[in-house]
Amino acid sequence: MEPISPPEVRPSEDKIQHSFKVDTVPSLWMFKPGSSHSSNPGLSSSSHKARGFFRDLLPSEELFSKALYTFDIGQNDLTAGYHLGLTTDEVKETIPDILNQFTVAIKAIYWQGGRYFWIHNTGPFGCLPYILDNFTLQAPEVDRAGCGSPFNGVAQLFNSLLKETVLQLRKELPLASFTYVDVYSNKYRLISHAREFGMSLDIFFSSAKFIFFVRNGYHHLR
């Protein structure tokens, strides 16, 4: 189980930003504020202690309807498929299930009183160094910005279906307010028009282990 970060509460005008991290959708609503009983009888004693700790940190129940729930979704889900050895077509086939789980999570929060949702679509992960470093691409599959076109094509398909999902949720949950943020377009513009933002002609992506740069239509790693 991935460690859970403490909730972060930030006032923003009349709304509260409440951020927390969970490893699975079912664990999201194991308890209500003020409740000392878990809905999951299989929890370990350490999980019970953690649950009690976070219960004490949660804001009062009436604030949940004023919280802003932020979802940054897609990148880890999609890249995980590639790391499991799936082809691009097979990764595309996982998208409906990812969005179904997303819908379940949104509705769970809504029926607990959540009303404000801020949804980020996934960025152009075909431009990320760790993707380009781990997966082989042919020259025609690298675009002029040095990004992997097959990966970005998956991201764009995911975002198209995510937007449709959000539109459907607006119809099904009329009391909710949804904001859909196009992260992909902004990140790709930053990468593909680097000189406009004061970067050098070559596009450099640096990490702790390597530098990726694009020159003359192909890329070099390490």
Q: Which candidate, 21, 20, 70, places its Cα nearest to that of 181?
A: 70
pLDDT of the residue at 42: 52
Torsional class of 217: left (φ above 0), alpha (ψ -120 to 50), beta (otherwise): left
* pLDDT (tens digit per residue) in 130-147: 888 888 888 899 998 889
Q: Please report, for the chain, how many H helices and E strands are present, in that order.
A: 7, 8
**Model confidence, pTM:** 0.67
Q: In whole angstroms, what is the distance from residue 205 CA to residue 124 CA?
A: 14
pLDDT of the residue at 24: 36
Enumerate the β-bridge partners of residue 11: 16
pLDDT of the residue at 44: 58
Sequence spans of domains, the chain: 1-59, 64-220
pLDDT of the residue at 190: 86
The segments of the chain whose pLDDT lies below 50 read: 1-39, 201, 203-222
152 within 8 A of 139, measured Cβ to Cβ: no
pLDDT of the residue at 195: 77
pLDDT of the residue at 47: 64
